[in-house]
Amino acid sequence: MNKVDMEYIKIQSNTRRAIRTEILFTPFLVILPIFIGLLFIYNWYNQGYIEGNPEYFGTLILGIIIIIGNVFFDIPFIRSLKKLTKNKNWK
């Protein structure tokens, strides 16, 4: 093998490691922001809505922004990982 072939193999190996890492971190990347967003909304509901304190309205907005941003990020991310895992060349 020449030097160019060795570099190609090295790049392919690094790509495989990166893809496996992304697949392993997918549940963490999807579930944690949704949990945090729901926690903010829950905090707003208990402290702001039930007690009538308008100072907690910002936590509601923050929770909604986190959840919406996560959905817009996660849908294409999960679709690309599904498409990639169907392609058997990366294994």
Which pTM does this prediction carry? 0.71
Reference 73, options 14, 18, 15, 32; nearest CA is 32
* Confidence check: pLDDT of 89 > 80: no
Q: What is the mean pLDDT of the chain?
A: 83
For the chain, give the percent of residues with pLDDT over 90: 35
φ and ψ at residue 89, rounded to 5 degrees: -75, -20
Q: List, in order, residues 6 or more apart from 84 with CB less than 8 Å away.
A: 19, 90
pLDDT average, residue stretch 32-38: 94
* Structure confidence at residue 40 as a pLDDT band (50, 70, 90): very high
